[in-house]
Amino acid sequence: MTTPPEMRDLAQRLLAYEVVAAETSEPLEFATSRVYEKLRLGLGEFAGVAGFQSLASRALALARTEAPSLSAVRISADGALQGLGHGLYEFETQMDNDEDRAAEHASGEGGIILIARLLGLLLIFLGEALTLSLLRITWPGAALEDSDSMNRREA
């Protein structure tokens, strides 16, 4: 089973937004880690640490089937993502503010798949309205208006 294109697109948009939003005067954090942490903090308030940890662990297990490069990644007891470094997710030090280019360099394939799987599980368990609400609160400036795409999941 592959990641639905709609969830992949949404993950890429969030990762691109994080790359563009990063201040170049500070060292760039990994966009995947930033997106993941924002989801962890936002959903952790809603579902609790154990609820998020369970959801993230399942997302990681699903993502590993498509991206074996995630084999070193772990979810800690508090839901934190560990082991994302290891040279898999390197960025250029200077990024344009061009979102298409940012999406290309935002994260490795494994990071996109992991975030897409986590978003897909949120959609399944929370529903479209609550998932979009969480995303809009967490990323108020991101282009998330294409909510119809969330309904067109592969069968």
Q: 45-94: per-residue pLDDT in tens?
A: 888 999 999 999 999 999 999 998 899 999 999 999 998 764 333 333 33
Distance of alpha carbon 98 from alpha carbon 96, whole angstroms: 5
In the DSSP assignment, the letter for residue 69 is: G
For the chain, domain boundaries? 5-141
The H or E element spanning position 82 is strand 81-82
Read off the pTM: 0.77
- Give the residue among 130, 137, 50, 84 at the shortest CA–CA distance from 147: 130
